[in-house]
């Protein structure tokens, strides 16, 4: 499956997850992001949707036509619903979580597998290295097409690039306009050929959607401001995530392939601060 340019995110969808995944794929999304974190994701429902799509599909199974990404979440990211033995060593936890994800998603491999967030800040600690080694082993087994990390800072990405046996191929971060849209991490990713995925592009930056210049750009292009921000993200080198629950918005989001911002407009949006 080729790397995606736009991803549908399934966080916080609860019981609506399966229906929304089917809607997103029906609208035209070719990449789905989830995590084995029952606190915020319903990963089994993603698998249910994939199975339903396979049952009615005519162009190969969803696992052949879709990019599927999931994550291992450290213990402090869970509530009482932990998808692995919390008393086991970290390598075992990663393997148990991954095997559980494969069962949920009804597959024998995923396209991308991420560490949901480091154990230690601002640098990486011993736990991070043990977990990353386990993730590397999963990649080397062929059961994950790409591996990476989420919720990470530039120093940690640089450490992984310097010390890891298998370098990260994906970084997924929340993007705040008033922090330069995560400029430092994006710069490293661009230099190293790492796929940078940006999430919360709209929810973290509501003031950007109401910025006069952004509104002006949207009017000139005859689109809405969210479409401008998603298109900006793509042209700035990101793979954006959207988690909309509206079928209409899903379709509108995918229309961004039909618009183009000028380099000046990209630079303007990148420089907006609160």
What is the residue-level pLDDT of the chain in tens, covering all 274 positions?
788 999 999 999 999 999 999 999 999 999 999 999 999 999 999 999 999 999 886 445 566 799 999 999 999 999 999 999 999 999 999 999 999 999 999 999 999 999 999 999 999 999 999 999 999 999 999 999 999 999 999 999 999 999 999 999 999 999 999 999 999 999 999 999 999 999 999 999 999 999 999 999 999 999 999 999 999 999 999 999 999 999 999 999 999 999 999 999 999 999 997 6
Please state, in angstroms and rounded to a whole number, the distance separating the CA atoms of residues 156 and 159: 5
* The 3-state secondary structure of 172-235, one letter per residue: EEECCHHHCCCHHHHHHHHHHCCEEEEECCCCCCHHHHCCHHHHHHHHHHCCCHHHHHHHHHHH
Q: Six-digit token pair at 98? A: 């991954």
pLDDT of residue 64: 77
pLDDT of residue 127: 98
pLDDT of residue 59: 46
SS3 label, residue 112: strand
pLDDT of residue 1: 72
What pTM did the predictor assign? 0.96
Please state, in angstroms and rounded to a whole number, the distance separating the CA atoms of residues 194 and 186: 9
Q: List, in order of start, the domains of the chain with CATH numbers.
A: 7-204+238-243 (3.20.20.100)
pLDDT of residue 264: 98
Task: Count other C-beta atoms under 10 Å from residue 229's C-beta.
Answer: 25
pLDDT of residue 16: 98
Please state, in angstroms and rounded to a whole number, the distance separating the CA atoms of residues 51 and 202: 30
């Amino acid at each position: 499956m080729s790397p995606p340019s736009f991803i549908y995110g399934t966080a916080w969808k609860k019981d609506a997850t399966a229906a929304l995944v089917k809607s997103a794929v029906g609208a035209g999304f070719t990449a789905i992001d989830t995590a084995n974190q029952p606190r915020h994701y319903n990963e089994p429902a993603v698998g249910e949707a994939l199975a339903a799509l396979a049952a009615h599909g005519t162009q190969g199974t969803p696992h052949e036509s879709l990019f599927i990404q999931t994550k291992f979440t450290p213990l402090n990211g869970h509530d009482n619903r932990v998808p692995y033995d919390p008393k086991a060593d970290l390598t075992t936890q990663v393997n148990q979580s991954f095997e559980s994800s494969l069962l949920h998603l009804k597959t024998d491999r995923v396209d991308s597998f991420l560490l949901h967030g480091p154990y230690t800040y601002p640098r990486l600690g011993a736990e991070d290295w043990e977990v990353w080694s386990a993730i590397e082993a999963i990649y080397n087994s062929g059961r994950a097409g790409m591996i990476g990390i989420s919720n990470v800072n530039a120093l940690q990405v640089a450490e992984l690039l310097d010390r890891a046996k298998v370098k990260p191929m994906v970084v997924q971060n929340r993007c705040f306009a008033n922090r330069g849209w995560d400029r430092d991490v994006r710069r490293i990713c661009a230099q190293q050929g790492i796929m940078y995925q940006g999430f919360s592009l709209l929810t973290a930056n509501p003031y950007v959607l109401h910025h006069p210049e952004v509104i002006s750009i949207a009017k000139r292009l005859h689109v809405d401001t969210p479409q401008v921000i998603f298109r900006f993200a793509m042209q700035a080198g990101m793979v954006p995530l959207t988690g909309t629950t509206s079928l209409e918005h899903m379709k509108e989001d995918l229309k961004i392939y039909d618009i183009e911002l000028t380099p000046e407009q990209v630079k303007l949006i990148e420089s907006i601060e609160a």
